[in-house]
Amino acid sequence: MQHLQQIRDRLNDFGLDALMLTGEANRFYATGFRSTDGLAVITAGGAWFFTDSRYIEAAKREITGFDVEMVSADLTYSSALCDIISSHDVRTVGFEEATMTVFDYLVWKEKIPVEMKPAQKLLTDLRASKTEEELEEMILAQRLAEKAFNDVIPLISTEMTEKELAAELVYRFLKYGAEDKSFDPIVVSGPRSSMPHGVPTDSRIAKGFLTIDFGVKLGGWCSDTTRTLCVGQPTEEMRTVYETVLRAQTAGIEAARAGMTGKEVDGVARDLIHEAGYGGYFGHGFGHGVGLDIHEAPTLSPRGDTPLPAGAVVSAEPGIYIPEQFGVRIEDVMYLTEEGSRDITMLPKELIIL
């Protein structure tokens, strides 16, 4: 994966002579090389990647289309960029305002003698649409995570703690080849299932709903899935809430397509939950973009006013959370086209009762 030409083609649209990439995900997007440290610089006629001695050998071997150089005491990141600025008549440099800290921005602004312009949208727009190759990479990540989830279901009991279940998942992620988890797993049981982003505790898994939100990173790409199980028999209201969430999710997935706004997709599920009498218990959006980051553009929520692009990979995760009683969330990931959506999650969604 490398998107150098796509980025280069958008520089004029943003009034940029050059773009500097300091964020890990966007450096990877541009170069196809993963590192925790580095600087990519792109102009209409050139591209450079700078990194330190930890990554230089691998970077020179793996990166194409960029001049790869090692920084040192004599060639710092800022001096390297200044050399490019002076030799290529650069007057405006774009930067990633969403990931650069204020401190780093002030340091860069002091050291480079040109205008720095926010350019996050350039990368955000490009990354919102995935290629077929990138989609296949994300499907592989989904399958790995699903395999780990299926493996831990037989282990679940009231003798196990929430933290232990989370640890069993992460162990299997790594065992099956994931680079890492895409976020810390959410494992909440019983009354704690009413907390959408509750943190696993040392308490044993309680009877009632058990919500497990999990994902892996594979090849740089994230997966994201949630399933809500029931430990012991559910009450009639619990079944009603579960079926309401499932209907809302199914309706949203069936309605979703490129060209709709995120607000419109969210509204399909939100209206159904409201009509069932649980509108006050659905506090977050229907979904979000998934890709190199676990949360990225586009947004499917009441704030999502822009049309969804073809090729977007987004979550579908409505939920109902009744404080101090229980909560339900069901989450799949779908791929959007102008004709509709393709659900790339394969786990069944019937309520599993343990």
| Domain match, 244 and 198 both | yes
Q: Is 311 left (phi over 0), alpha (psi -120 to 50) or beta?
A: left
| Domain match, 120 and 136 both | no
In a domain, 352, yes or no: no
| Domain match, 161 and 252 both | yes
| Domain match, 163 and 75 both | no
Cα 205-141-188 angle, rounded to 5 deg: 15
- Owning domain of residue 251: 132-343
| Spatial separation of the C-alpha atoms in residues 315 and 76, rounded to whole Å | 40
Question: What single letter denotes the amino acid at residue 89?
Answer: D
Q: Which residues pair with 77 in a beta bridge?
A: none
Q: What is the CATH number of the domain that holds 49?
A: 3.40.350.10
Q: pLDDT in tens for each of the 354 residues of the chain?
A: 579 999 999 999 999 999 999 999 999 999 999 999 999 999 999 999 999 999 999 999 999 999 999 999 999 999 999 999 999 999 999 999 999 999 999 999 999 999 999 999 999 999 999 999 999 999 999 999 999 999 999 999 999 999 999 999 999 999 999 999 999 999 999 999 999 999 999 999 999 999 999 999 999 999 999 999 999 999 999 999 999 999 999 999 999 999 999 999 999 999 999 999 999 999 999 999 999 999 999 999 999 999 999 999 999 999 999 999 999 999 999 999 999 999 999 999 999 999
pTM of the entire structure? 0.94
| Spatial separation of the C-alpha atoms in residues 148 and 144, rounded to whole Å | 6
Domain end call among 78, 101, 127? 127
Q: What is the CATH number of the domain that holds 276?
A: 3.90.230.10
| Domain match, 112 and 252 both | no
Question: What single letter denotes the amino acid at residue 157?
Answer: S
Domain end call among 110, 127, 144? 127
Q: How many domains does the chain have?
A: 2
| Domain match, 94 and 139 both | no
Determine how β-strand 180-181 pairs with β-strand 67-70: unpaired
> Does residue 111 contact residue 78 with C-beta atoms inside 8 Å?
yes
In a domain, 97, yes or no: yes
Radius of gyration in angstroms for the set of CA atoms belonging to the chain, rounded to a whole number: 23
Domain end call among 92, 127, 162? 127
Q: What is the 3-state secondary structure (H, E, C) of 254-303?
A: HHCCECEEHHHHHHHHHHHHHHCCCHHHCCCCCEEECCCCCCEEEEECCC
